[in-house]
Structure 1
């Protein structure tokens, strides 16, 4: 834990997604990501667990991020983070996650989205056949400046890079909670929405193996392979049955202390240095 920055370090531990057709989604995440599904007793939700990646799927409207949950190192760090929120007039709420221990809490962003913090419970799951730890989550927002300020100034994430349209209009922000380029990002949109989540593999060869694995399931890549500008990471993307984007990444940039936030212009090469981009509306 850094002095006056109790968030550091924190890592993305799990996500909760709302899905309409849970049987198809459970089968996809079992087969495509190697996650073992188990129902949460007394709920319409399922835990999908693996070695380094865990999701919760909840029956409901499609393609919605219910919450993202970040793991901190110990109770002292958690208490300091809770105090930071209160100091910044952010009211801690009860944690929505059954996978965090007692004492966990959540904060609600300006779009009403929840982000939880706590100490994780042990979640048994199969060993990962392909490497890919849950690493970052991305949202869309019509009030991108407020979301950026909430995560940076309120929660204590650090800004790694900003993407601008012209000299001033913000189109994206990439923020980190440890030494990796981003564990959260927000993209400009006309309304709030879930954009994608990412698994971080170890190497370019891992991305090849993931692509071959998806091919064996007749799951096509819809973007990539490529290399992002911000983050400099290799990537490929597929979609789950509800249309959610799932990224597999490798070689994401590591940030040294004191590095000033970068500024990129919104264009195809920023999104993919190799060419060919997914331009969000």
Structure 2
């Protein structure tokens, strides 16, 4: 029933610094604010916001939000999850975040708070022009999991996610699973990691020129680059990874693959092959430095619902 990814919400100790980064160098727009909370929109997206930032003592993932088509789908999915033993944070109800709507929240198998919603008002948005290097929309979110096989099974069984591709390594086995809810190659991916945490959040740019312009702007601003620019094989999308002020990895991407649901068969890619990580060969090598940065800090929000 899930149609798309809506927004990713982060709690951080220094809200002002985090907001300045996302609305300055990164190119999002402050659409709504409240006490200790900022709702940031992508100029080309109809979603009310794609990132929510909240002032908090601890850095954490507050929430990952997905949309469904109708309020009836919200009720059906909430009832199904409750019957299957999934812990609901709250039952379906009117939402009081920007755009309103109707939704519910629950904990996934590792304790992340997930929101499902429908009937959220569409934001006035615009077409991004040629050469304009700002995010068009939220592309996907990748999470680290200490038990990725169980996490994959949770999202496939309870939420209907479908497998697109898998990354593996000859010594380490399967390492990342790309999951989709629509024709985009992935809206979520699950990476094997030492602890549950955010791996990265990705933002779609208008095209290759805008993607490179945005990458260059961040480099000139002195933002720490982790990996890229390059083009992955799984998903066929470009990538440039940077660290935000609190050590979360953020990605600029474009040209994420669209799959044909009727003919697609998942691939098993060996990422020890350099062309799997980067078809172009332009990015710095995937190594222990990149991996450590992507592990992030252990998430302190597991099984603790955010107050907003």
Which residue number corresponds to residue 262 of structure 1? 267
Deviates most, 252-261 or 189-198: 252-261
1:88-111, Cα deviation, whole Å (9 max, x unpaired): 432443289724634301231121
Q: 2:157 aligns with which of 153, 156, 177?
A: 153
The alpha carbon displacement at 1:138 in A equals: 0.8
Find the residue that maps to 1:32 and give its secondary structure: coil
Report if the CA contact (8 A) 2:7-2:51 is conserved.
yes
Which residue number corresponds to residue 72 of structure 2? 76
Find the residue that maps to 1:222 and give its secondary structure: strand
CA RMSD of aligned residues (A): 2.7
Find the residue that maps to 1:232 and give its secondary structure: coil
Which residue number corresponds to residue 54 of structure 1? 50
Change in Cα spacing, 1:132 to 1:59, as seen in structure 2 (3 Å) is: same
Find the aligned partners of 1:236 and 1:213 in 2 and give their Cα distance.
12
Q: Report how many residues are paired.
A: 273
Q: 1:15 aligns with which of 8, 11, 15?
A: 8
TM normalised by structure 1 equals 0.85
Deviates most, 180-189 or 102-111: 102-111
Which residue number corresponds to residue 44 of structure 1? 36
Find the residue that maps to 2:291 and give its secondary structure: coil
For 1:94-243, list aligned pairs within 5 A: 94=90, 98-99=97-98, 101-119=100-118, 120-122=120-122, 129=132, 130-166=134-170, 169-243=173-247
Find the aligned partners of 2:99 and 2:80 in 1 and give their Cα distance.
20
The alpha carbon displacement at 1:61 in A equals: 4.8
Find the aligned partners of 2:107 and 2:74 in 1 and give their Cα distance.
17
1:183-215, Cα deviation, whole Å (9 max, x unpaired): 111111111111110011232112122123324
Change in Cα spacing, 1:11 to 1:88, as seen in structure 2 (3 Å) is: same
The alpha carbon displacement at 1:54 in A equals: 2.4
The alpha carbon displacement at 1:122 in A equals: 4.6
The alpha carbon displacement at 1:78 in A equals: 2.7
The alpha carbon displacement at 1:33 in A equals: 2.7
